[in-house]
Structure 1
Amino acid sequence: MSGPVVVGVDGSPSSLAAVEVAAREARLRGSGLRLVHAFGWPSGHVPPGVPPWNPADVGLRVLVDGTLADAERRAQAVAPQVDVTRDVVVGEPLTVLEIESRTAELAVVGTRGLGKFAALLLGSTAVHLVTHGRCPVLVVRGRPDPEGPVLLAVDGSRGAVGAVEFAFAEASLRGAELLALHVWNICTERAYDHPADPPFASYDEERLRAVEERLLAESLCGLRDKYQDVAVRHRLVRGRIRPSLIEAGGGAQLVVVGARGRGGFAGLLLGSVSQAVLQHAHCPVAVVRTGKE
């Protein structure tokens, strides 16, 4: 039996939007939805006489229950048939979500929040969750086109295998087209005959293009037979990675990327490219790890 779809809730508009997306994802998967509010005492301060694991004694339980009740109403309005559970967990939000991801099928988060969730996807915290989480992470942002494709960023690395399968599965669940995008440029090293070849050696553009086309096709090999209901469209783009990916996502309903990569997408979630995707994507972004990477 698969785990639930988990979503972090703090009452902010962003987290409530994430709840609605998470409810739809749970409905598509036929799984449960788990609403989690992480409670951490500010700066580690616990009022005298109050057990650190029980915020109810200082009147916070009513506030937290109200937040979760509102989130549950939102979820049931979107997917009334989904089984919803909710819980307050004491701990830092990132630690709590990391632990929750161990038994979840999917973790869903918003781009902005209140309190400790405020910077969840800014800077190193996004990298932390993606790097240490045990399930795919869906970041809710932008305005997706419900009729658009699922956009898959392809780089051909072993670390992106999970992202490819996730993208196929999502396209199948949504009844959407899968657009497989591979960005390349003359800086690629795959077309050189020997590692010692100089980085600025002359190159054959047609040869390079043929290599990249083959890599794109091979990355999808096997899954097209498994997901015969998914219409797949290839797109090979020579250009800069960040603007190409962001532009292509303009008409998509979801962008799927791997947590690690090589070549054009190397380090996608470890530096400036990750910041560009998470801050400027026009639709939700799913980040998928493969194995222990």
Structure 2
Amino acid sequence: MAKPVVVGVDGSPSSLDAVETAAREAVLSGVGLRLVHAFGWSSIHPPHGGPPWHRAEAGVRELLDGTLTEAELRAHRIAPDTDITREVVPGEPVVVLEIESRTASLVVVGSRGLGAFGGLLLGSTAVHLATYGHCPVLVVRGRPDPTGPVLLAVDGSPAGERAVEFAFAEASVRGADLLALHVWNTWGERVHEGPDDPSRIVVDVDRLREEEQRLLDDTLSPWQSRYPRVTVERRAARSRVRPALIEASRDAQLVVAGARGRGGFRGLLLGSVSQALLQHAHCPVAVVRGNG
């Protein structure tokens, strides 16, 4: 049985946008859609020792049902033939959605939520899921260009291989081009071009540029042969990594990145580039963790 797309719902505009995005993803992938509202008592201050669904907490259950009903109506408008299920799950949002990710093909969340009720889909929740989720996590933010490419942040690391696969698959089902952007530099985030470039004293920049282009080509070639109908633009650029990717996201419909790249510290679960995209990209961001 195919794993569904799971979307977190809290009734906020951001989460309802996420529902519509998740519905489109379910249609493209040909899988079901699961709407989940995490219900945590810490957010509504229940009576001391009170049971989770005590009727004295007037209107709470009805409010939850109304939130999911609105979400389901939106999902059905986007995906009328998709199998859609809904559930209220007791527990803290970050925990509930992390557990849901174990049996999902994709988890979709908004970039921020209500906070006052449920606390679902705050920026910290998106970061937590991108860090610890068991499947790709798509965070809906910005204003995607529906005619733009899928933007893939290529780092050439083994951990980034699943992100490459995900980006090719997304470009294929969307009928979109793929812009594979590999940004590199020699002095951290400081970039200086020209004959007086200090890095030329200790580094053969031209040779390094060739090596970085080769890394990009080697990363993409196996997947290009598996997805021959996807038009791929390969771009290697010497620049500041995070600003370059954020700027490129202006014209994209989706940006895809691995959870951490070859520049990250061992044991670091979410890299600075992924975090920067989650916070500043101009379109939705999919973060894909590597194996292990």
TM-score with structure 1 setting the length: 0.88
Which residue identity does 2:122 align to in structure 1?
L
Aligned position for 1:177: 177
Aligned position for 2:193: none
Runs of 4+ residues over 4 Å off in structure 1 = 264-268
Which residue identity does 1:244 align to in structure 2?
A
Q: Report if the CA contact (8 A) 1:50-1:57 is conserved.
A: no
**Does structure 1 residue 146 correspond to structure 2 residue 141?**
no
For 2:187 and 2:160, the matched residues in 1 are separated by 20
Distance 1:86 1:57, change over 3 A: farther
For 2:35 and 2:233, the matched residues in 1 are separated by 36
Map Cα deviations across residues 223-244 of structure 1 (whole Å, 9 max, x no partner).
1111111111101111101110
Distance 1:246 1:43, change over 3 A: closer
For 1:106 and 1:60, the matched residues in 2 are separated by 29
Map Cα deviations across residues 4-27 of structure 1 (whole Å, 9 max, x no partner).
100000000000000000000000
Map Cα deviations across residues 93-130 of structure 1 (whole Å, 9 max, x no partner).
000000000000000000111134366324xx444212
Report the number of matched residues.
278
For 1:32 and 1:134, the matched residues in 2 are separated by 18
Q: Report if the CA contact (8 A) 1:155-1:265 is conserved.
A: no
**Does structure 1 residue 41 correspond to structure 2 residue 53?**
no
Map Cα deviations across residues 170-215 of structure 1 (whole Å, 9 max, x no partner).
0000000011000011238xxxxxxxxxx99611111001100000
Q: Report if the CA contact (8 A) 2:26-2:33 is conserved.
A: yes
Q: Report if the CA contact (8 A) 2:150-2:171 is conserved.
A: yes
Give 1:222 deviation, angstroms. Answer: 1.3
Give 1:264 deviation, angstroms. Answer: 8.8
Identity, % of aligned positions: 65
Q: Report if the CA contact (8 A) 2:257-2:274 is conserved.
A: no
Q: Which runs of 5+ in 1 are unaligned?
A: 189-198
For 1:268 and 1:103, the matched residues in 2 are separated by 21
Give 1:46 deviation, angstroms. Answer: 3.8
Trace 1:58-77 onto structure 2 (pairs within 5 A).
58=57, 59-77=59-77
Aligned position for 2:233: 233
Q: Report if the CA contact (8 A) 2:260-2:274 is conserved.
A: no
Distance 1:187 1:131, change over 3 A: same
Trace 1:228-267 onto structure 2 (pairs within 5 A).
228-263=228-263
Give 1:44 deviation, angstroms. Answer: 8.7
Q: Which runs of 5+ in 2 are unaligned?
A: 189-198
TM-score with structure 2 setting the length: 0.89
Trace 1:106-145 onto structure 2 (pairs within 5 A).
106-115=106-115, 116-117=118-119, 120-122=122-124, 125-145=125-145
Bigger mean CA deviation after superposition, 224-233 or 249-258 = 224-233
Map Cα deviations across residues 45-78 of structure 1 (whole Å, 9 max, x no partner).
54267422x2555231111111100000000111
Q: Report if the CA contact (8 A) 2:151-2:254 is conserved.
A: yes
Aligned position for 2:29: 29
SS in 1 for 2:221: coil
**Does structure 1 residue 211 correspond to structure 2 residue 211?**
yes
Q: Report if the CA contact (8 A) 2:18-2:110 is conserved.
A: yes
SS in 2 for 1:6: strand
For 1:130 and 1:105, the matched residues in 2 are separated by 14
SS in 1 for 2:23: helix
For 1:57 and 1:26, the matched residues in 2 are separated by 38
CA RMSD of aligned residues (A): 2.3
Q: Report if the CA contact (8 A) 2:156-2:219 is conserved.
A: yes
Trace 1:183-194 onto structure 2 (pairs within 5 A).
183-187=183-187
Q: Report if the CA contact (8 A) 1:246-1:277 is conserved.
A: yes
For 1:117 and 1:131, the matched residues in 2 are separated by 18
